Structure 1
Amino acid sequence: MERLFSFYSFLCFVLLISRTFCSSFEHHLCSPTEASALLQFKQSFEVNSGYSDCFTSLPKTKSWNESRDCCSWDGVTCDLLNGHVIGLDLSCSKLVGTFHPNSTLFQLHHLHTLNLAYNDFNYSLIPHNIGRLTNLRHLNLSDAWFQGKIPTEISYLSNLVSLDLSGNECELDERTFETVLRNFTNMEVLSLVLVNISSPIPVNLSTSLRYVDLSATYLRGVLPESLFLVPNSLESLRLSDNDLLKGVLPKIHASNTALLELDISNTGISGELPHSIGTWSSLNILNLYGCHFSGSIPDSIGNLTLITKLDLSYNHFSGSIPDSIGNLTQITELDLSYNHFTDHIPSTISKFKHLTRLHLSSNSFSGEIPDVFSNLQQLRYLYLNDNSFIGSFPSTVLNLTQLDAFDLSSNSLSGPLPGNTSMLPKLTSLDLSYNSLDGTIPSWVFSLPLLQLWLKHNRFRGIADEVIKTNPTLIHLYLSNNQLSGFFPQSLANLTNLYILDLSSNNITGDAVPNITFPSLGILELSSCELKDFPLFLRNVNTLEALDISNNKIRGQIPNWFSGKRWESLLHLNLSHNSLTGHLPQFHNYHSLEYLDVKFNSLKGPLPSSICNMNKLEFLDLSHNNFSNSIPSCLRSMASLTVLDLRRNNFTGSIPPLCAHNTSLRTIVLNGNQFEGPVPMSLLNCDSLEVLDLGNNAINDTFPAWLGTLEQLQVLILKSSVFHGPISTCQTKFCFPKLRIFDLSSNEFSGSLPAKVFGNFKAMIKLDGEDRGEIKYMKQVTKSAYTSYEDSVSLVIKGQNIELQRISTIMTTIDLSSNHFEGVIPETLKDLSSLWLLNLSHNNLIGHIPMELGQLNMLEALDLSWNRLTGKIPKELTTMNFLEFLNLSQNHLIGPIPIGPQFNTFENDSYGGNLDLCGPPLSKQCGTSDPSHALQPLGSEEDEDESYFFSGFTWESVVIGYSFGLVVGTVMWSLMFKYRKPKWFVKFFEGIFPKKMRRSQKRRLRLRI
């Protein structure tokens, strides 16, 4: 009892002393100077309750007022001994305004911690006065909307333990960057994500660093090996999204490292994964996504037994996945997609009992899908798409009760799906598209809690209304390119959440029940079916954003109920490739339309005035119809119009001043109409123009050289019109810099070939080291990215008029055929080394074929026919290894045809009409012609004189001369017979033929003798 009394007495004494101490401390706690500085700092910003980059409650500064001690304010921490403010945390405080360079915040000299993250400082500069806070241990200015150069004074904060400046549009100079990484000996945490550093990583780092995040900082140079030699400190290293950072992973043994996370994704790191990677046994996360690694995965990968996330996707790894990977039993996420792995999936994967994500898509796995997934009971996401798997659907997958998404698309699976099953209770996304699965779609598929179902491009068959079942959860349903038949399925009426429905390329014939309603339907795809009329159920659908009923058999006029429908949200309408007739209706209520495609129909008459009200229209394709009259002038005012395709109609009048009020046009195709007049100068405003096709009209103008100022122009077609005069050059320094397709054929251009213009075609010059890479095609995409328009053009390719449905971004062609060009072929054409097609036929070109054309290594077609070219075929042309088409016919070429790999494939037609050519493939043997040709020295003075004299002769002049000569000869013969050899006759003909020609004739006569 006595001990208990003593304890209580001691407790009371402690409480008394503490109350006295605390009351005294509370009275003197907050410095009035620091409280005033905080209040002034608060007053320099607005508090925007609607702004926040993070989830938070009320703004912290709301509790700040003079009636309370500043140490009790939210976000403020004071030193318990002296009352100085040592911590200020105003993160997520919704502060908005400019950060003043002389802010009162810098009067708080005792600050140890400053956190201003996730506010909006309106692109302020980080003040130089930040260097005055030399006691700072922790500084966090992340995502606070700072910009500009980070002041060098930040290097004064040598006591920093953590520094976070990430998420700002700032720049950090190389010297300050080195100081922070090398000399801050207390620094443990450094995050500079998105800060522009643009310098190499220093070789030597502070040994105190534990966490370093330099993602997306424009690092350059080589990855230093010293990064991985920091002893027992560095735990997390993130260098992702720095594509200028090169090098390889060092072959070092890192058994002593504490590294838990290594992220070098989306960098230029390359080479093979070293075998020593297995010594980094402490790793939990290894992310090599989007690098340039190659070779195989080393067996030592199995030593990373603590790893939970391994991402090797989007590299060039090849070979088999090693069986040792099964040792990674703690792994939860494994991504090996987009590589070149072959063979089979190793059976050891079945050991991954904690695995939730498995990505093996876009590789070269083959054979049947092995039974390795049944033990992966935690698996939620399984992606096996884009491989070469064969066989049937893997039924063992149906036992994965946690599976949320399963993708088997783009393989070679066949056969029917399994029968009845009630498995996969959590599956929300199933993609089996692009296989050869057949049979009917089993009912269990529609019993799953699916939100998205892709079954397109298979061989599923059956009556659509019987196969498709009700599934109230479905949002996206893709069944296109199968063998479903019958009427539009009435069962879909109960899919109240359905937003996307794709039944294209099936044998759907129409709607038997027109009263179906889709309360949420936004996108409906019914192209390439067997529809003969507009589906009547569309009268009940009011939410459509995109409708595609193209490539059907719909005939007659567009019904009034359809054109009068009030679809306020309709963005895309495709009625192309049908048999529609009559006029294009007004479409008064289609104000939101961005894409209108009615090509390949039989619509006629003028364009309706309602087109002018579609001020959001981006793509307008009315090609291949019978529209007439002039184009409405309002098209020049449609500010969003990107593609205007009116080819193959009967439009008349002059081309309106397009781009007068709109500079967004990228494609203008008016080919195959009856437009007259000049090319409108307003096209100069089309800054984004890539394709201009005005061919096959009656445009009467000189060459519009001013189009060369359009820096994005890639395709220029002016063929088959009434253009005339010489090809002049534009006056700017860079003229046609991106032009790749240049077609002026079948006009009345004259003068010499435009050598200076050719010199401006920079896009046709293949620079050293240029890599063609993957072939891409020119296309324009709507803002919503739902539909696109692929640019197309009609060209003469290898002697055939071909309609290219799409234009590859590496195709280059020059066609100046069927004009009145004269003079010689310029040697400067050799500089266009990426040129594919060159057609100069049907002109009046003279001289030799330049041997420099042999430098056009990429040329596939060369047509110089129907000119007046002379001399031999240069043997240098045989070096053109890609040449598939050659036409040199109807010229005055002489000598043997060169022998070469490609030349040996050309037939007689390539050389016809050149009477003095010899050798294969011609039947004429070399050396069997007139001896004078063989004995005459090449390049003699007499040859040049004679060539010059006869160079202007054509077959027309020969015929006329022959007829005239026959008459004159007959008269002369009569006179000679009657008067013998009169002196006036001899003197007359001596005056006609120069002495040099007479000498030439005498010399040839001597040679014959």
Structure 2
Amino acid sequence: MGILFFFYSLVCFLLVISESFSSSSVMMHHVCSPTEAFALLHFKQSFQISNQPSCWVEINLPDMTFVDIPKTKSWNESRDCCSWDGVTCDMLTGHVIGLDLSCSLLNGTIHPNSSLFQLHHLQTLNLARNDFYSSSIPHNIGRLTNLRHLNLSQSFFVGEIPTEISYLSNLVSLELNCYECELDERTFETILQNFTNLEVVSLCGVNISSSIPVNISSFSLRYVDLRHTNLRGFITESFFLLPGLERLYLSDNDLLKGVLPKIHPSNTLLELDISFTGISGELPDSIGTLSSLNILNFLNNHFTGYIPSTISKLKHLTSLDLSSNSFSGEIPDIFSNLQELRFLYLHNNSFIGSFPSTIVSLTHLQDLDLSSNSLSGPLPNNVSMPQELTKLDLSYNSLNGTIPSSVFSLPLLSSLSLQHNQFSGLADEFKTNSTLDYLDLSHNQLSGSFPQSLASLTNLSTLTLSSNNITFDEGIHITFPSLQDLHLSSCELKDFPHFLRNVKTLTVLDISNNKIRGQIPNWFSSIRWDYLYYLNLSHNSLTGHLQQFHFHNLRYLDLKFNSLQGPLSSSICNMSDLKFLDLSLNNFSNLIPSCLGNLQFLDLSRNDFSNSIPSCLGSMSSLTVLDLRRNNFTGSLPPLCA
């Protein structure tokens, strides 16, 4: 009995041990093959590590966070290659099946017989965003027939994409974005017709110079990016027949012609971008059958006719861009159903009629651009504009009446462009809007005093009120702590605006073509504008001598068509960055200073300069325009001017 019990216990123990070993063998994985480890190390030695990052994520513009990681730097023989950065191995066999060296700061070329092509088990290869020194994609890429994912985008490859790429028929994703590469027509057709597992194809920038195949057999396609590929011929319905297509980008192919074909109903297509092509004709009513569409971009084509009312069925649209076409008629009131719309661009068409009233019902609208049309009449005054608007552009129309106060009270508005209309009056309604950064009300019929409430626009960087009839009270107190560009030309000004004393951040000042008389005031010429590079005081009635300016970074100075006189101040020599100087149509006299050596444009015509032309003008190597007509010069031209 004891022997039987011992034997039974021994059997149970052996079974447990056996089961334990069996279980642990499943959990264990094979180490990397020495041959493949050597191939990887040899591949590493082909490159240097750059110190110039090329990959970034935009978090808070204009700041960028670089995400480059020199993954191969940590590779060494002392560690299993399956644990190396960017390397993925099969858990059971140990074969290298994935290599992701994107954004790895690699500099060098991939040799035609590179050890990379010894990794026959690779299923994923990502070498995007490196610098391969304008080398070609090697033909041996076709040996990696197990590849399912290939990404060689934006790595400075050039030349013909090898036809051997067509051997990779198991690919699920193919990304070869490259602006210096070419792909022959047959290989392009093979990719779209024979790669039956293909879900993603991105060839942005590749010169394909081919028409779109009539038949596309890659029915698994979800994502197609053929932007800027020199596609030609007529657009076909082939892409619109793909049952699972989610994103289609065909923009920047100006040789792609024809009319948009009838679009087959789809509940999968999310983004459609066919901008900057030669497509013409009317937009088909069938566009309304893309029931899941989020983004529709037909910018800069040759569409004509009316906007079809069926667009109102695209209830999930967040962005609609039909700008820079030849659409005509009134903008239809179709927007009340598009409650998810955030971006609406209809500018640069031939729309007529009034501002479409249903736009104000788009509660989530952020960007609205209806500029460069022929809209007329007043803006709706009894309703509020969408409260999430950040940019509003209604410029270059024939809108009239007063600007509704609701426009100036939008809490998030950063850019307002209403120039080149027929708006009248001048509302003092800016008190609730401190987010405004850009304001252009030029070329209207605005009149009255400059609004004191503009003082609340503490973030304003650009203010353009040119070609209106605005007066400036001397006692107005505005500081504009962020103002950089100020345009007040053709405003019937009779004096230099006194509030300029308080503005310290100007880079551009234009008060040309006004009625300012007398001498340039001392307070103006003594202001220290450290950032000012553009100053235009032309077409006024300024008199007296040119005083010393303290604008040491000035590059553009225009004082033409005034009555300034006397010799040129030597202070102009302190403007060492000056490139453009126009003093024509004044009464300057005496000698030309010999310090104008860096100018590219110099116009001193129609003055009273005399004596000889300084020899320095003949040696100004950067000068492209020189006009000295109608002065009293004597002597001969400097040698290099002759």
State the TM bucket, normalised to the shorter chain. 0.7 to 0.9
- Give the aligned partner of residue 497 of structure 1: 482
Choose which of 547, 550, 554 in structure 1 pairs with 2:509. 547
Residue 248 (1) aligns with residue 234 (2)? yes
1:153–1:680 Cα change, 3 Å: farther
Asked if structure 1 preserves the Cα contact closer than 8 Å seen for 2:488 and 2:510, the reply is no
1:553–1:304 Cα change, 3 Å: closer
Choose which of 202, 217, 229 in structure 1 pairs with 2:206. 217
1:206–1:134 Cα change, 3 Å: closer
Choose which of 358, 381, 395 in structure 1 pairs with 2:367. 381
SS at match of 2:400: strand
1:421–1:131 Cα change, 3 Å: closer
Choose which of 127, 134, 141 in structure 1 pairs with 2:152. 141
Residues 392-422 of structure 1: CA deviation (Å, up to 9, x unaligned): 2224661523333222223333333445799
- Give the aligned partner of residue 853 of structure 1: none
Residue 669 (1) aligns with residue 631 (2)? no
1:149–1:327 Cα change, 3 Å: closer
Residues 968-997 of structure 1: CA deviation (Å, up to 9, x unaligned): xxxxxxxxxxxxxxxxxxxxxxxxxxxxxx
Cα offset for 1:302? 2.7
Choose which of 341, 357, 363 in structure 2 pairs with 1:371. 357
SS at match of 1:301: helix
- Aligned-partner Cα distance in 1 for 2:218–2:158: 35
- Aligned-partner Cα distance in 2 for 1:581–1:392: 43
Residues 537-578 of structure 1: CA deviation (Å, up to 9, x unaligned): 555544332223333455555556655554432211223233
User: What code does the residue aligned with 2:182 have?
Assistant: L
SS at match of 1:390: strand
1:272–1:675 Cα change, 3 Å: farther
1:101–1:594 Cα change, 3 Å: farther
Residue 81 (1) aligns with residue 92 (2)? yes
1:398–1:444 Cα change, 3 Å: farther
- Give the aligned partner of residue 449 of structure 2: 463
Residue 226 (1) aligns with residue 214 (2)? yes
Q: How does 1:858-1007 map to 2 (within 5 A)?
A: none
- Give the aligned partner of residue 54 of structure 2: 52
Asked if structure 1 preserves the Cα contact closer than 8 Å seen for 2:282 and 2:305, the reply is yes
- Aligned-partner Cα distance in 1 for 2:137–2:520: 63
- Give the aligned partner of residue 105 of structure 2: 94
SS at match of 2:358: coil
Q: How does 1:474-485 map to 2 (within 5 A)?
A: 474-485=460-471
1:43–1:624 Cα change, 3 Å: same
1:166–1:341 Cα change, 3 Å: closer
Q: TM-score, normalised by structure 1?
A: 0.55
Asked if structure 2 preserves the Cα contact closer than 8 Å seen for 1:281 and 1:305, the reply is yes
- Give the aligned partner of residue 392 of structure 2: 406
Cα offset for 1:441? 0.9
SS at match of 1:272: coil
- Give the aligned partner of residue 568 of structure 1: 530
Asked if structure 1 preserves the Cα contact closer than 8 Å seen for 2:125 and 2:151, the reply is yes
- Aligned-partner Cα distance in 2 for 1:489–1:48: 59
Cα offset for 1:90? 1.4
Choose which of 625, 636, 642 in structure 1 pairs with 2:586. 625
- Give the aligned partner of residue 238 of structure 1: 225
- Aligned-partner Cα distance in 2 for 1:569–1:359: 34
Cα offset for 1:102? 5.8
Q: TM-score, normalised by structure 2?
A: 0.83
- Give the aligned partner of residue 819 of structure 1: none
Based on CA coordinates, which of the two structures has the bigger radius of gyration?
1
SS at match of 2:456: coil
- Give the aligned partner of residue 736 of structure 1: none
User: What code does the residue aligned with 1:496 have?
Assistant: P
- Aligned-partner Cα distance in 1 for 2:615–2:163: 58
SS at match of 2:324: coil
- Aligned-partner Cα distance in 1 for 2:282–2:169: 45
Cα offset for 1:648? 1.1
- Give the aligned partner of residue 653 of structure 1: 612
Asked if structure 2 preserves the Cα contact closer than 8 Å seen for 1:212 and 1:238, the reply is yes
SS at match of 2:310: helix
Q: How does 1:114-513 map to 2 (within 5 A)?
A: 114-127=125-138, 130=141, 133=144, 135-150=146-161, 160-167=171-178, 170-172=180-182, 174=184, 178-179=186-187, 181-182=189-190, 206-220=195-209, 223-224=211-212, 226-227=214-215, 229-230=216-217, 232-242=219-229, 245-250=231-236, 257-266=243-252, 267-274=254-261, 276-278=262-264, 283-395=269-381, 398=384, 400-418=386-404, 424-443=410-429, 446-447=432-433, 449-466=435-452, 468-487=454-473, 490-493=476-479, 495-506=480-491
1:303–1:86 Cα change, 3 Å: closer
- Aligned-partner Cα distance in 1 for 2:102–2:567: 63
1:422–1:547 Cα change, 3 Å: closer
1:71–1:301 Cα change, 3 Å: closer
Cα offset for 1:307? 2.6
1:63–1:488 Cα change, 3 Å: farther
Residue 530 (1) aligns with residue 494 (2)? yes
Asked if structure 2 preserves the Cα contact closer than 8 Å seen for 1:362 and 1:386, the reply is yes
- Aligned-partner Cα distance in 2 for 1:424–1:563: 38
1:75–1:660 Cα change, 3 Å: same
- Aligned-partner Cα distance in 1 for 2:26–2:245: 47
- Give the aligned partner of residue 36 of structure 2: 34
- Aligned-partner Cα distance in 2 for 1:437–1:311: 31
SS at match of 2:36: helix
Asked if structure 2 preserves the Cα contact closer than 8 Å seen for 1:273 and 1:297, the reply is yes
Cα offset for 1:251? 7.0
Cα offset for 1:623? 0.9
Stretches of structure 2 that go unaligned for 5 or more consecutive residues are 1-13, 57-65
Asked if structure 2 preserves the Cα contact closer than 8 Å seen for 1:347 and 1:372, the reply is yes
Asked if structure 1 preserves the Cα contact closer than 8 Å seen for 2:279 and 2:303, the reply is yes
- Give the aligned partner of residue 64 of structure 1: 75
Asked if structure 1 preserves the Cα contact closer than 8 Å seen for 2:172 and 2:199, the reply is no
Asked if structure 2 preserves the Cα contact closer than 8 Å seen for 1:450 and 1:473, the reply is yes
Residues 50-104 of structure 1: CA deviation (Å, up to 9, x unaligned): 6131343753335433432221122111222332322211112233455566655
Asked if structure 2 preserves the Cα contact closer than 8 Å seen for 1:465 and 1:491, the reply is no
Residues 779-822 of structure 1: CA deviation (Å, up to 9, x unaligned): xxxxxxxxxxxxxxxxxxxxxxxxxxxxxxxxxxxxxxxxxxxx
* Percent identity for Structure 1 against Structure 2: 48
Number of equivalenced pairs: 620
- Aligned-partner Cα distance in 1 for 2:353–2:335: 17
1:496–1:359 Cα change, 3 Å: same
Stretches of structure 1 that go unaligned for 5 or more consecutive residues are 1-8, 189-203, 507-527, 684-703, 705-1009
- Aligned-partner Cα distance in 2 for 1:644–1:349: 54
SS at match of 2:214: helix
User: What code does the residue aligned with 1:297 have?
Assistant: L
- Aligned-partner Cα distance in 1 for 2:376–2:455: 28
- Aligned-partner Cα distance in 2 for 1:633–1:211: 65
- Aligned-partner Cα distance in 2 for 1:172–1:272: 27
User: What code does the residue aligned with 1:673 have?
Assistant: N
Structure showing the higher helix proportion among its residues: 1
SS at match of 2:364: coil
- Aligned-partner Cα distance in 2 for 1:131–1:231: 20
SS at match of 2:76: coil
- Aligned-partner Cα distance in 2 for 1:432–1:269: 35
- Aligned-partner Cα distance in 1 for 2:618–2:163: 49
